[in-house]
Structure 1
Amino acid sequence: MPDSGKNVFIVGPGFIGWNVLDLLIGEGYNVTGFVRRKEHGEQIEASGAQVVFGDLNDKQVIAEQTTKHDIVLHTATADHLPSVQAIIDGIAQRAGKGLSTIFIHTSGTSLTDDFQELGNNSKSDKIYHDNKREEVDALPDGAPHREIDLAIAKAQRDLGEKAKLAIMIPPLICGFNHQHKRLSIQIPTLTRFALKRGYAAHVGKGLGVESNIHVLDLARAYVVLLHHLEASSPAKALENPYYFCETTGDQEPSWKDVATLIGEQLHKAGKIQDPTPRELKQENWGDTFGEFTGATLGLNSRSRAVRLRELGWQPTEKDWKRSYIEDELPEILKEDQKEFAGYMGTVAS
């Protein structure tokens, strides 16, 4: 593949970003990944990228790398303001030299969570559409991820036509890349809980629903969005920074549907005696997402990727059920569950 001459800096090329990195390398982009671990750095180098080591609090390094790149993607987490501020600082430095930058940040649809009746609400009729910016602008400032998204929106206003900024807002992410061997977060964590406790679980009655997306469809969406920003005028990019990315139709399960599938499949595999899902009591939240369990597993969050579809993107990967049965569950069953004590990281969606 010929060199495109375009330089991309990816902060956190992990579960999401590594898949995006592969696609960009395949298109001839020069990609640098910002990673913490030597082992992952070697994996990224094997994929064809350059590597810079550090963590998200290395603001000077992130800002310096941003000044050297035409394109920056942040796929590490939706909730780390200092690293985002460092990117914005680097973009401002480039703007001062007359250099334009494209920046795509990763948020998550926890922004739209319905906090009315945790786990007990029925399937919500409220669906957010990214072609209606006012729906996102109306979200409370205290919504999950909103502090960082608002900082980016402010930077977009301040920079004006000197940069092109966008925010990708994925929902529940599923899927598996057999080359990377990395799993998603929510459904695998619920599976590990079931293996440890002997039953599949849902928060409350589990009636809330969340849109979802396969990670490989999501990775393609970043590239589609990037190409759009490359071709668009700076003024066009200013109109609306928000992009949802989801699979719709009957692929929008309730959390009880998720728990039911986990129970059925683990029972079929001989790992639990009773496939019937049960309520995840709050005293056991420490074995899933701790204090964030309710916000991660118990609420409605429905979104529609109108804008990406208008750009020609369509989801083409396996639905969440097939992905779980054929790809994710077999990988989870290879794990040693003895040390499992819940998920300690941050969940983007």
Structure 2
Amino acid sequence: MRVFYIGATGYLGGSVLKRVLNVYPHAQVAALVRSEKDIPAVKGFGVQEVISGSFEDLALIRKHSSIADLVVQTANADDEALMGAILEGLKERFDSTSVRPVLLHTSGAGVIMDRSPGSMTEEAEKRPWDDLDEQRINAIPSDAVHRALDELIFKADFAGFVDGWIICPPLVYGESSGPIPRESAQVPYLVQAAIQSGTAFYFGEGTSVWSNVHIDDCVNLYEIVLRYALKPETRAHKSSPYSKFFFAESGKHSWAELAGVIASVLHSLGVLGRDVPVSLPFTKGEEMVGPLVWGACSNAICVATRGRLLGWSPGRRDWEDGVRSDVERIAKRICAQ
């Protein structure tokens, strides 16, 4: 099996890469790496072929997709040109072999987040997003965050030239095990903003809720989905693209609760003068966290039924303990700079 891997040096992508190399030791893995300085680490990780290039090198991406049996894309959930090149290459692969190649893509729970500026809503509380509900997954608005790439994959799958699988993580916490040390997205943003402003914070009431998952559990789901996707009996059956969309979750937090953990840890380290967060008006959102604003105050509650039906059983449910370790590690790195 030939694998083309995009996202080898990322937080989640590096950890998934480690699992792919362990589970499929005889696979021929080629990884796109954008930074020359990261190439030795990726090679040392066990990747047979490292391809130096960027997401703008569309001809290169198309070429390597066209000779792959499996493409794993964990790097970017919004780059339509990148995904277009991948799918063009996979179409070439199908045309030359008459066998549908497999694409495993990483989306994100931003696709289901509402626009609540810090408050739990009746809709979010009573109707969490269950990945078993194909009709509702199909009805996610086209202008939702990350949705454009999801829809490109659905369309390609419907066309019959690719088996497109999508994993949609919420807030991910825990330490990465990839070739390059990386941190997740949301927690580091909030820690950095708390240190810069002198206080941990949340927006509005802080009662809005996101699902979360430990990175190790998330990687386990990738393995389970990948094993299932590559089974001959799965390959032989043409199923709905919406049945290949998987949420990943093992817990949930309100933004006030998360801010409370950040405040407590930073205070214990002597970084902040108070151990409780403050409420800020939503209008301060972009000033404090920039483009992350909706991803730090909205509701995005999901239910990972499909993964559990395949045997996924997340074991890391104490999100507060996991996030506490993350905040301490991130804060020490920031303060040492």
What is the TM-score normalised by the length of structure 1?
Answer: 0.88
Matched, 1:315 2:310: no
Cα gap change, 1:118 to 1:164, in 2 (>3 Å): same
Cα gap change, 1:235 to 1:297, in 2 (>3 Å): same
Matched, 1:245 2:248: yes
For 1:155-192, what per-residue CA distance to the aligned partner results, in whole angstroms no more than 9, with x for missing partners?
1111x2x4311111111111103664321111121111
2, 7, 10: which one aligns with 2:2: 7
21, 46, 52: which one aligns with 1:48: 46
Q: Secondary structure at the match of 2:213?
A: strand
> What is the total number of aligned residue pairs between the two structures?
325
* 8 Å CA contact retained: 1:119, 1:207: yes
* 8 Å CA contact retained: 2:120, 2:207: yes
Q: Secondary structure at the match of 2:332?
A: coil
Q: Secondary structure at the match of 1:312?
A: coil
Q: 103-112 or 270-279: which moved more?
A: 270-279
For 1:49-70, what per-residue CA distance to the aligned partner results, in whole angstroms no more than 9, with x for missing partners?
0211111121111110111211
Counterparts of 1:167 and 1:154, CA distance in 2: 13
Q: Secondary structure at the match of 1:131?
A: coil
The residue type equivalent to 1:11 in the other structure is I
* 8 Å CA contact retained: 2:15, 2:177: no
Counterparts of 2:81 and 2:43, CA distance in 1: 26
Q: CA deviation at 1:233?
A: 2.9
Q: CA deviation at 1:234?
A: 4.5
Give the corresponding residue for 1:259: 259
Matched, 1:21 2:14: no
Give the corresponding residue for 2:78: 79
* 8 Å CA contact retained: 1:18, 1:44: no
Give the corresponding residue for 1:150: 151
Counterparts of 1:228 and 1:330, CA distance in 2: 37
Give the corresponding residue for 1:113: 113
Q: CA deviation at 1:325?
A: 2.2
Matched, 1:324 2:336: no
Query: Within 5 A, what are the aligned runs for 1:180-191?
Result: 180-191=180-191
* 8 Å CA contact retained: 1:164, 1:238: no
Give the corresponding residue for 2:36: 38
The residue type equivalent to 1:230 in the other structure is L
Cα gap change, 1:165 to 1:15, in 2 (>3 Å): same
Q: Secondary structure at the match of 1:335?
A: helix
Structure 1 stretches lacking a partner, 5+ long: 1-5, 340-349
Identity %: 27
Counterparts of 1:331 and 1:44, CA distance in 2: 23
Q: Secondary structure at the match of 1:211?
A: strand
Query: Within 5 A, what are the aligned runs for 1:86-235?
Result: 86-98=85-97, 99-115=99-115, 117-122=116-121, 124-158=125-159, 160=160, 162-177=161-176, 180-231=180-231, 232-235=234-237
* 8 Å CA contact retained: 2:94, 2:162: yes
Counterparts of 1:56 and 1:279, CA distance in 2: 39
Counterparts of 2:130 and 2:52, CA distance in 1: 37
* 8 Å CA contact retained: 2:203, 2:279: yes
The residue type equivalent to 1:8 in the other structure is V
For 1:252-295, what per-residue CA distance to the aligned partner results, in whole angstroms no more than 9, with x for missing partners?
1100000011111111222111122112443463342x1x3332
For 1:109-129, what per-residue CA distance to the aligned partner results, in whole angstroms no more than 9, with x for missing partners?
1111122x3113356222111
Q: 40-49 or 236-245: which moved more?
A: 236-245
* 8 Å CA contact retained: 2:170, 2:249: yes
* 8 Å CA contact retained: 1:167, 1:241: yes
The residue type equivalent to 2:63 in the other structure is E
The residue type equivalent to 1:252 in the other structure is K
Pairwise CA RMSD: 1.9
Give the corresponding residue for 1:65: 64
What is the TM-score normalised by the length of structure 2?
Answer: 0.91
The residue type equivalent to 2:146 in the other structure is H
Structure 2 stretches lacking a partner, 5+ long: none
Q: 205-214 or 23-32: which moved more?
A: 23-32
Counterparts of 1:304 and 1:129, CA distance in 2: 5
Q: CA deviation at 1:147?
A: 1.4
The residue type equivalent to 1:62 in the other structure is I
Cα gap change, 1:35 to 1:154, in 2 (>3 Å): same
For 1:130-154, what per-residue CA distance to the aligned partner results, in whole angstroms no more than 9, with x for missing partners?
1111111111111111111111111
Cα gap change, 1:90 to 1:112, in 2 (>3 Å): same
Cα gap change, 1:305 to 1:261, in 2 (>3 Å): same
